[in-house]
Amino acid sequence: MHNYIDSSEDDIIAAVFAFFKTYNNIPKDEPVNIAAYNKDINEAMAEIDRGEFNTQEEVEAII
């Protein structure tokens, strides 16, 4: 996983980071709602388009 992170572009890292942040906030005993999942993905992509994301170095520091 670290190799993938190291070799990925910042926008991909930001999208994956957004996914994990969202996923970790979903109660584990609750099924994933596809509409909510798609909404979260669309919101994350809009944040990326606005330049609101962490760089690879920032994500690595968080990890």
Q: What is the pLDDT of residue 50?
A: 92
Q: What is the pLDDT of residue 28?
A: 62
Mean pLDDT of 7-28: 76
C-alpha to C-alpha distance for 32 and 63, rounded to whole angstroms: 25
Radius of gyration for the chain, computed over Cα atoms and rounded to the nearest angstrom = 13
**Percent of all residues in the chain with a pLDDT value above 90, rounded to a whole number:** 6
Cα 17 from chain centre: 3
C-alpha to C-alpha distance for 61 and 25, rounded to whole angstroms: 21
Q: Where are the domains of the chain?
A: 2-62
Going by the DSSP 8-state scheme, the letter that residue 44 receives in this structure is H
pTM of the model: 0.45
C-alpha to C-alpha distance for 36 and 9, rounded to whole angstroms: 26
Mean pLDDT of 36-53: 89
Q: What is the pLDDT of residue 44?
A: 87
**Percent of all residues in the chain with a pLDDT value above 70, rounded to a whole number:** 84
